[in-house]
Amino acid sequence: MDWNKLYDRLKARAPALELRREEPMSRHTSFQVGGPAPIMALPKNEDEVQQVLSVAALEFGVKPFFMGRGTNLLVSDAGADLLVIKAYDGLNRLELLPEGEWPGHRTITAGSGVSLARLAGFALECGLTGLEFAQGIPGSVGGGVYMNAGAYGGELGQVISSVSCVSCPSEEDVREYINPQFSYRHSQFQGQDDFILRASFSLKPGDPAEIRAKMDDFSQRRREKQPLEYPSAGSTFKRPTPVDGKPVYAAALIDQCGLKGIAVGGAQVSEKHAGFIVNCGGATCDDIVTLMAQVRERVFRETGVTLEPEVRYLGKEGEQWNF
DSSP 8-state class, residue 228: T
Partners of residue 84 on adjacent β-strands: 40, 65
Is 235 a catalytic site residue? yes
**CA 112, 118, 121, 122: dihedral to nearest 10 degrees?**
-50
DSSP sequence for 127-149: TEES-GGGGG--SBHHHHHHHT-
Catalytic residue among 48, 235, 296, 312: 235
CA angle, 91 as apex, 154 and 52 as ends, to 5°? 120
The single-letter code of the amino acid at 107 is: T
Helix (H) or strand (E) holding 298: helix 285-303
Is 298 a catalytic site residue? no
| Residue 199 contacts residue 162 (beta carbons within 8 Å) | yes
Question: What does the alpha-carbon distance between residue 7 and residue 15 come to, in Å, rounded to a whole number?
Answer: 11
Catalytic residue among 155, 270, 310, 312: 310
Catalytic residue among 20, 185, 198, 296: 185
Partners of residue 309 on adjacent β-strands: 237
Is 239 a catalytic site residue? no
Catalytic residues: 185, 235, 310
